[in-house]
Amino acid sequence: MEKLGFFKKLSIQLRTEGILPFARYTEDNYFLLEDGTVVDIMQIVAKDLQNCSEQDVQYDFAKHWKFHKLNSEDYKIIGMNFPCDLTEQKRYWKKKLEITKNPYLQNWQKKTLGQLEWLEKNRTKREFYLMFYTENSIEHREFILRNLQIMSSGQEELLKECTYEKKIQVLYKLANQNMCISK
């Protein structure tokens, strides 16, 4: 009982609203801080550099270099692990397993289903996000348009906007780093 009294005496804010500086989420899909600063999150699209040509790697490097030169202090790159969601694939193989009459194919399908369950339990998906700050909504829109133009030129886009749900997932994971994000 002494411990509870001790915590009551402390003026600790135990709610997330008291800890995070966000004032609100606007209709234009960004967060507004209490001081009027705009914060937003975009997803960095990762590529398989080992299977790309040298020219593609050099081109993407040049796009990243130009992005950094234009925005050297306005952003943070966040790397996160999310659990793999293989629900659709498992549902497909379960349905195939129910339909199949051939015992050889059934064993193969059970093995595939077991591999999917193992992957879902033991593997994570690595994702990268760009959290950036601007002074107001006009600069925010300019930042997005300028950088989408830089990072989306060429064959593949390297930066894309996130949905509200994804932004909330990223913020939740940032605030609760020991928690696992569920599907």
Tens digits of per-residue pLDDT, 13-42? 445 555 566 667 777 788 888 888 888 899
- Please give the backbone phi and psi of residue 128, each rounded to the nearest 5 degrees, phi first: -120, 140
Placement of tokens 């990072």 in the chain: 151
pTM, two decimal places: 0.68
Residues 54 and 99: their CA atoms lie apart, in Å, by 46
Contacts of 116 (CB under 8 A, 6+ apart): 86, 89, 90, 93
Residues 138 and 131: their CA atoms lie apart, in Å, by 17
Residues 119/89, Cβ–Cβ less than 8 Å: no
Higher pLDDT, 153 or 101: 101
